[in-house]
Chains A and B, each alone.
Chain A
Amino acid sequence: MVIECKHVWDHISEYLDGTLTADVRETVQKHLDQCEICSAVLDATRNIIILTADDRVFELPVGFSERLHARLDSELRSDT
């Protein structure tokens, strides 16, 4: 089965998660193997997911842990 690019884009997320059914995956894979644009879309999406998941992107505010653990300390003390 041959599908158009715009239908391949619908499956990119599930393709990356490995949750497509075998036949859909095969159809998508065949398209990706010969379509430069769709494989670039796939690579860019995967790359962006990897970059945003990097621990350095979203960081805690300065002093967050110190304030949290100080507050917890008084809670733990009142508990015992």
Chain B
Amino acid sequence: MLQQPPTRTEAEMIAAILAGDTQLYHGLIRPHERSVYMMALSYMKNEADAEDVAQETFIKAFRGLASFRMESKFGTWLISIALNEARTRLRRQAIVRMESLDEPPDENAKVSPALLRDWREIPSEIVEREEVRRLLQRAVESLPEIYRQVFLLRDVEELSVNEAAQVLEISIPSVKVRLHRARMMLQKQLTPQLKTVTAAPKRRWFQWS
């Protein structure tokens, strides 16, 4: 996973916005819309609330832009604001989520992977298929919350282990353990499903010939 420091242009844009060229803010945030929304959604659980949190995040970030320090990435800073906004809202709404009532998942319990001898690489083109996208979405959504958040930050939004630890306010070893479990859970669930899906069209074809 490639990590990039704040690009020159991003830093320059921020300086220009602070100097008064506020319209540049639209362009500055465009690359970060999806990650902010995704992380908001992972907390809020419904699209309308997640969109609201995302909008609020970008407005707060605009108002607080002068306090952004270049030593962290702009994208990571935005995600921190989004997660704080989401946490505050959940507290305010006094939403007691089911997962917080249950025993937290045991981080020491092992997840055994799906064992297949004849796994073949599935090409990226497969995600053009709606059913495959839905399988992948559903598998990620079904992860316990603490694993889903780490997985999204690391493997979808490509934050470093340190950045993920920072925005989630957890330790680095916890990030690693949770990420490992998330990946193993996805492997276990998705491997047989993806095999079936990728094998299906052929079977259907021969059935009728």
A residues adjacent to B (C-beta < 8 A): 6, 9-10, 12-14, 16-17, 19, 36-37, 40-41, 43-45, 47-61, 64-65, 67-69, 71-72, 75-76, 79-80
B contacts with A: majority SS: helix
Contacts of B110 in A (CB 8 A): 6, 9-10
Q: Do the beta carbons of B191 and A68 come within 8 Å of each other?
A: no
Query: With A44-B187, A51-B126, A52-B136 in contact, is A68–B180 under 8 Å at CB?
Result: no
Within the complex, what minimum Cβ distance (angstroms) separates B58 from chain A? 6
Q: Do the beta carbons of B121 and A45 come within 8 Å of each other?
A: no
30 of the cross-chain contacts (CB-CB < 8 Å) are A12-B113, A13-B184, A36-B117, A37-B117, A40-B119, A43-B121, A44-B191, A45-B184, A47-B119, A48-B186, A48-B191, A51-B136, A52-B136, A52-B139, A52-B151, A53-B158, A54-B124, A56-B127, A57-B133, A58-B34, A58-B38, A60-B37, A64-B51, A64-B54, A65-B30, A67-B51, A67-B55, A68-B51, A68-B55, A79-B62
Determine if B25 is an interface residue (Cβ-Cβ < 8 Å).
yes
Q: Do the beta carbons of B37 and A72 come within 8 Å of each other?
A: no
Contacts of B128 in A (CB 8 A): 56
B interface size (C-beta, 8 A): 55
Determine if B118 is an interface residue (Cβ-Cβ < 8 Å).
yes
Type the 1/0 row for B170-181, where 1 means its CB is closer than 8 Å to any CB of A: 000000100110
Q: Do the beta carbons of A14 and B180 come within 8 Å of each other?
A: yes
Closest B residue, CB atoms, query A11: B180
